Structure 1
Amino acid sequence: MRDKLSCDHIPVRIEPTDFSGVFLMVPEPFHDDRGLFTRTFDAAIFDEHLGRPGAAAEFAQDSQSRSHRGVVRGMHGRAGRGEAKLVRCARGAVHDVLVDIRPESPTFGRHRSFLLDDNDFHHLYIPPGFLHGFQALTETADMCYRIDRPHDPAEDISVAFTDPDLAIAWPHPVTIVSPRDAAAGTWKELLATLG
């Protein structure tokens, strides 16, 4: 017996943001007595939005992290040509934050936050040229990352999640950070390398 709704008709909507190139992929789950079904990614819609056939095939690595409530991971970026990523919260909820580090951008130096959770299934597409970080809002939060090129630790850049020039408001007291994030540089130090 077939499901009431064909899997081919599960819509995924694109919502632009006020950062050029950043957008949310918003699935519309199908609910019935069993629970729900949703499409978490659609390459054709992704490619069409970017205007580049085969853009979805450029992703090279998928990763997943698990964090406990209050943990902050960030703010991370990549030197060189940067990296594009598609992130989502597969379990729990996170306060996800981007900082625009593209010197030519009208939103350069600004940050914006997004709620990503396992209720709405939103995916956030982040093009090259951003710092990214998040705080776990639930007891456990699993973040999934799809990245367009293999990770190279030599290209890692980071700015302290507490940097006063960025003034990011984290919604909960921070519980744990990695030694790397605790030793991250400042926004002023990053600016000197971008110039």
Structure 2
Amino acid sequence: MKATGVPEIDGAFLFTPTPFADERGFFSRTFDAEVLRSVGLDPDAFVQDSLSRSVRGVLRGMHLRSGDGEAKLVRCSYGRIFDVVVDLRPASPTFLNRAFFELSDDTQVTLYIPAGCAHGFQALTDPADVSYRIDRAHDPSQDVTIAFDDPELAIPWPLPVAAVSGRDRKAPSLAEVLKHEEN
């Protein structure tokens, strides 16, 4: 497994596995504590694993946690997704930068998203399964959502939006969220 920094988002990494393939299919390591340690991440910090399944065109995001934030390891375990990260850490050298990725079951690449970054994705296949490894327990009172179609973010979602949650549909703009976080 190889770790590569993401230039657009300070502290973000892509972890690319080296699958073993033969006539049966493949075997791939999707988590390696030593590789995480090699880039300064604590593998023992992750306390929760979650899975989402989406149909083609479904959009989930843009989400983050208030307070101390939430770091995540995200991988598309089945299908393909268009994945987006936005750096919302005011003290970060990459504050307000965006990064886009295509994650798929073909590669099993895992994306590390630092706490304080917003995350969202759109399913490119039917279905697309996304696995999350999260560094703290979910607290719904700290959920923050930003409008996925905010012109300031200008995210180039590749497909028409087939479905989105009510919370995501009613989400405030980036400017509103940043103003609220300042207070």
TM-score of the two chains, using structure 2 as the length reference: 0.96
Contact 1:160 1:182 in 2 (8 A): yes
Matched, 1:34 2:24: yes
* Amino acid in structure 2 at the alignment position of 1:22: A
Q: Which runs of 4 or more aligned residues in structure 1 lie more than 3 Å from their structure 2 counterparts after TM superposition? A: none
Q: Give the one of 109, 113, 119 matched to 1:122.
A: 109
Matched, 1:14 2:14: no
Deviation at 1:33, TM superposition (A): 1.8
Q: CA RMSD in A?
A: 0.9
User: Aligned residue for 2:47?
Assistant: 60
CA offsets, 1:120-170, max 9 Å, x none?
A: 110000111100000000010000000000000000111010001111110
Contact 1:103 1:194 in 2 (8 A): no
Deviation at 1:194, TM superposition (A): 3.0
Q: Which runs of 5+ in 2 are unaligned?
A: none
**Larger Cα-atom Rg:** 1
Deviation at 1:106, TM superposition (A): 2.4
User: Aligned residue for 1:72?
Assistant: 59
Matched, 1:176 2:163: yes
| Higher mean displacement: 41-50 or 141-150 | 41-50
* Amino acid in structure 2 at the alignment position of 1:143: V
Residue 45 of structure 1: SS of its match in structure 2?
Answer: helix
TM-score of the two chains, using structure 1 as the length reference: 0.90
The 1-side partners of 2:14 and 2:160 are apart by: 27
Deviation at 1:193, TM superposition (A): 2.3
Q: Give the one of 52, 56, 79 matched to 1:92.
A: 79
Q: How does 1:77-156 map to 2 (within 5 A)?
A: 77-156=64-143
- Report sequence identity in percent: 52
Q: Which runs of 5+ in 1 are unaligned?
A: 1-11
